[in-house]
Amino acid sequence: MAFEALDFYRIDDELSEDARIVRDTVREFVDKEFLPLVVEHVRRDGSFPMELVPKMAELGLFGSNLHGYGCAGLDNVAYGLIQQELERGDSGLRSFSSVQSGLCMYPIYTYGTDKQKDRWLPGMAAGEVIGCFGLTEPDFGSDPGGMLSRAEKRGNAWILNGTKRWITNGTVSDIAIVWAQTDDGIQGFIVEKDFAGFEARDMKGKFSLRASITSELFMSDVEVPEENRLPGVKGLKGPLGCLNQARYGIAWGAIGAAQACFDEALQYSKERMIMKRPLASLQIPQQKLVKMATEITKAQLLCLRLAKLKDEGNLRHPMVSMAKMNNVDMALNVARDARDMLGANGIVDDYCSMRHMVNLETVRTYEGTHDIHTLILGRDLTGLDAFGG
C-alpha cells in the first residue's frame, strides 16, 4: 500500500503553497524514480543509482536553497522538506544531495571567489560536476582539528599530502573539497580528480548506507593551483560552517525516515492477524505506534521552528545540534520499534524499516556524532567545555 505521511498536528497548514508543491513533487519523484531501484543498490554493497543524477538535477535538487548559478533559491522550510522526502526514500539518497549541496556547493558559494563560483556552481547545479567533501581522516573524526593532511605553499601552488576516509561519493566525484592544515590554519582546496597524485578508492563491507558510495581519498604531493584554494575562510569554522548546513538537512531528513517506518508499521499491524485480531488492536503494539507518532510530531515542530530561525537569520549552531541529535535518535528508535513490529518480515528487504534502521546508524555517527552534539549543547548551556581535549 502506498505511503501516507503522518501529519498529526496538521503541519501542512503551516506550509506555504510553494513549499507544499515542492514537497509533493519530490515525494512523487522518490516514489516513481528512486524507490523501485533502492533494493537493488542496497544488495550491491555501496552503489548509488547514478542514472538518477541528471533527473535530480533537472528537478533542481542540487543547491536548491542557493541563489543564482541555476539554483532555485528556496527558503529553508522548502529545503528541509526536500531532505525529508529524500530520506523517506533512503538516507543514501539524502546523503547524495546533502554532500553535493550542503558540503560542496555551499563552501564554494560561501568561501569561494567569483571566478570559482562561475566555474563550478552552474555545472554542479546541473549535476554535470559531482563533488565530495574530505574532512574526516582515519585517525581524526570527531576531532578534525587534529587532522594530518597538510598543504604547503610552493610558488603559486600548494602541495597537498594526506588521507581522507569515509568520504561519500569520493570515487564518483569530479572535485573534492579537501580540508588541510597550512601555516595559516586549516584551509579548503578544490582538488580536481585528474590532478596528479590524487586517488579515490571505494570502501566495501558496510552494513549501513549501502545505497551510497563511501570512499577513501589519497593525496600524495598533489599540486593544487592557488586559484583552487577557498580564500573566504581559515580555521575549523570553514568545514564546520558546511556541516551546519548539512546537519540542518539531516534534522529534517530523519523525520522522513521515521515517517516511512511508522507508516509501514501502522499498515502492517492493521493487517497482520494475531489470534484472529489485528496486531494493531493489542496494547503493546499500540503503545509503540503512539510513541512513534508523538516523537515524529515533536520532531516536525522542532524542524519547522528551526527553519524559521534560519530564514530570519537568528539561528545559532547549537540549535541545529539539538535538532540533529534529537531527530536522528528519534528516527532510530522509531525504526527499531517498526522493525520489531514486523516480526520476521522486518528483517527482509521487502520492507523498509530495517534498511532505515541500519542507515540511521551512519546518520547518528556522521555530521557530528550524537555524543558530540550532546557535548556542544552541554557547553552551550553551562559555558563549560567537556570535550576533554
Partner 1 sequence: MKILVCLKQVPHKDARLEASGGWIDEGGIKFEINQYDTYALEEALRIKDAGEAEVVVATIGPDRTSQALRTALGMGADRAIQIWDDSLSGADSLTIAKLLAAAAKDESFDLVLMGLMSDDANNSLTGPMLAELLGLPHTTGAMKIELSDGKAQVERELEGGSLQVVDLPLPCLITVQTGLNEVRYASLKGIMQAKKKPLDKKGISDLGLDAAAVASKVTVDKLYVPTKGEGAEILEGSAGEVAQQLVGKIKELGLL
Ligand X SMILES: Cc1cc2nc3c(=O)[nH]c(=O)nc-3n(C[C@H](O)[C@H](O)[C@H](O)COP(=O)(O)OP(=O)(O)OC[C@H]3O[C@@H](n4cnc5c(N)ncnc54)[C@H](O)[C@@H]3O)c2cc1C
177 contacts ligand X (rule: CB under 6 A): no
16 exposure class (CB count in 10 Å sphere: 0-12, 13-18, 19+): exposed
User: In 187-282, which residue ranges form alpha helices assigned H by DSSP?
Assistant: 237-271
Stretch that binds partner 1, among 15-23, 92-100, 204-212, 228-236 (CB under 8 A): 15-23
What would the grid cell of residue 7 be?
501529519
Q: Checking DSSP bridges between strand 185-192 and strand 229-230, what pairing results, if any?
A: antiparallel
Which value, to the nearest 10 degrees, does the dihedral of the CA atoms of residues 63, 64, 65, 71 take? Answer: 80
Per CB under 6 A, contacts with ligand X among 204-233 are 209, 214
Residue 362 binds to ligand X (criterion: CB under 6 A): yes
Active site residue 264: no
Q: With CB under 6 A as the rule, give the number of residues binding ligand X.
A: 22
244 is a contact residue toward ligand X (CB under 6 A): no
| 61 touches partner 1 (CB under 8 A) | yes
301 lies in the binding site for partner 1 (CB under 8 A): no
Kindly calculate the radius of gyration of the chain based on its CA atoms and give it in whole angstroms: 21
Q: Could you tell me the smallest distance in angstroms from the CB atom of residue 363 to ligand X?
A: 9
> For residues 97 and 365, which CB has a smaller minimum distance to ligand X in the complex?
365
Site residues (CB under 8 A) for partner 1, limited to 338-357: none
371 binds ligand X per the rule CB under 6 A: yes
Q: How many residues bind partner 1 (CB under 8 A)?
A: 27
**What cell does 228 get?**
583552487
What type of residue is 52?
A: L
Cell of 33: 524514480
Q: Does 25 bind partner 1 (CB under 8 A)?
A: yes
Q: Which does 372 bind (CB under 5 to 8 A by kind): partner 1, ligand X, none?
A: ligand X
Residue 133 DSSP SS3: strand
Pick one of 38, 52, 53, 59: the residue that binds partner 1 (CB under 8 A): 59
Shortest gap between Cβ of 63 and partner 1 (angstroms)?
10
Give the strand pairing for 198-202 and 175-182: unpaired
Burial of 344 (0-12, 13-18, 19+ CB in 10 A): exposed
Stretch touching partner 1 by CB under 8 A, among 59-67, 131-139, 148-156, 378-386: 59-67
Q: Are 95 and 38 in contact (CB under 8 A)?
A: no
Q: Which amino acid is at 252?
A: W
Nearest to 224 by CA among 166, 154, 286, 271: 154
Name which position in 41, 49, 64, 262 contacts partner 1 (CB under 8 A).
64
Asked if 300 interacts with ligand X (CB under 6 A), we say no
Q: 71 near 121, Cβ under 8 Å?
A: yes
CA distance 7 to 21: 16
Per-residue mark of binding to ligand X, 128-167 (x: CB under 6 A)? ----xxxxx----xx-----------------------xx
21 binds partner 1 (CB under 8 A): yes
Shortest separation between residue 72's beta carbon and partner 1, angstroms:
4
> What is the rounded CA–CA span in Å between residue 269 and residue 275?
13
- Grid coordinates belonging to 58: 533537472
Query: Which residue ranges make up the site for ligand X (CB under 6 A)?
Result: 99, 132-136, 141-142, 166-168, 209, 214, 362, 365-366, 369, 371-372, 375, 387-388
Q: Which residues are catalytic?
A: 367
Query: Which residue ranges make up the site for partner 1 (CB under 8 A)?
Result: 1-4, 7, 10, 17-18, 20-22, 24-25, 28-29, 58-61, 64, 70-74, 78, 82
